[in-house]
Structure 1
Amino acid sequence: MLGRSRGGQTSKVHLAADRKCRPLAIVLTAGQPPTAPSSSPCSRRSGSVARSGRPRARPDAVAGDKAYSSRGNRAYLRKRQIKAVIPEKKDQAANRKRKGSRGGRPVSHDTDLYKERNTVERLINRLKAWRGIATRYDKTPESYLAGLHLRASMIWIKDLTRTN
């Protein structure tokens, strides 16, 4: 299901990536709904963390931009014992402060880990090296998602066959 806008059909790609700019999960949603509800499915789909040896079932930390700052996302990550590296939105901070002591503690995040969030941006650039993905030629969400998965698998194959 894709959303409608003045420009026509739109979609939003949510990505989970490791520190080597390799895709772990790709979720395609309609372009108009808020970003926050989609992050938990992306986190659930990421599966295991790639590393040498036996893969782990969850990462140590998850970095995201302010769009993913919501109570639901933070609660989901806290329940799985994953450190959330997501800054708080200004309106959320103002609302929390307005409530006083009932508003809860301020959200903190590791700024050094947050600087590494650019790995997702670099992954997006690698995905958009394909013109069809960059310009969104596909009419259906299924074919567009299939193109994203194909490009993601090519990124993984290239990285795994690279000799040191």
Structure 2
Amino acid sequence: MVDALGNLVRFLLLPGQAHDMKGVAPLIRGVSFDALLADKAFDADWLIQDLDERGSTAVIPPKTNRKIQRDYDAEIYKWRHLVENYFAKIKEFRGIATRYDKTDCSYAANWNLVAALIASR
């Protein structure tokens, strides 16, 4: 999760075979925000309902297989490139991109280290 400036706010390690939707609820728990920008993979009714209850806007394009297509703000969605840019910055560090670390603990520690290095630039 990155903020509006493209800086890391929080990250969560999931098993490689798990879908990203499993990590959304613990990732956004306790974080306040006005809008959540995400790609089509995060188009789930429970997430959109949760965001509505929080008073946040869901800027998530609907999946093409939705029976009732819903609207989203395409102009705000263009700012989702900040997330992709952050991952590009992270991938500059080869150990993170190729996941050299053997344990989750050391991998998470390296993420924190790289996030601090990126923030200090």
The TM-score, its normalising length taken from structure 1, stands at 0.68
In the alignment, does 2:105 pair up with 1:155?
Answer: no
Structure 1 unpaired stretches of 5+: 1-15, 48-57, 98-105, 159-164
Residue correspondence of structure 1 range 1-16 to structure 2 within 5 A:
16=1
CA distance in 2, matches of 1:85, 1:63: 5
Task: Find the counterpart in structure 2 of residue 84 from structure 1.
Answer: 58
Instruction: Name the structure with the higher strand share.
Output: 1
Aligned length: 121
Larger Rg: 1
Q: Secondary structure at the match of 2:101?
A: coil
CA RMSD across the alignment: 1.5
The TM-score, its normalising length taken from structure 2, stands at 0.90
Q: Secondary structure at the match of 1:23?
A: coil
In the alignment, does 2:26 pair up with 1:41?
Answer: yes
Residue correspondence of structure 1 range 9-158 to structure 2 within 5 A:
16-44=1-29, 47=31, 58-91=32-65, 93=66, 96-97=67-68, 106-158=69-121
Runs of 4+ in 1 over 4 A off after TM superposition: none
CA distance in 2, matches of 1:115, 1:136: 29
- How far apart are 1:79 and its partner, in Å? 1.3
CA distance in 1, matches of 2:57, 2:77: 11
- How far apart are 1:37 and its partner, in Å? 2.5
Which structure is higher in RCO with an 8 Å CA cutoff and minimum separation 6? 2
**CA offset digits 1:76-134 (Å, max 9, x no partner):** 2111110000011122x1xx35xxxxxxxx32110001111010010001111211001
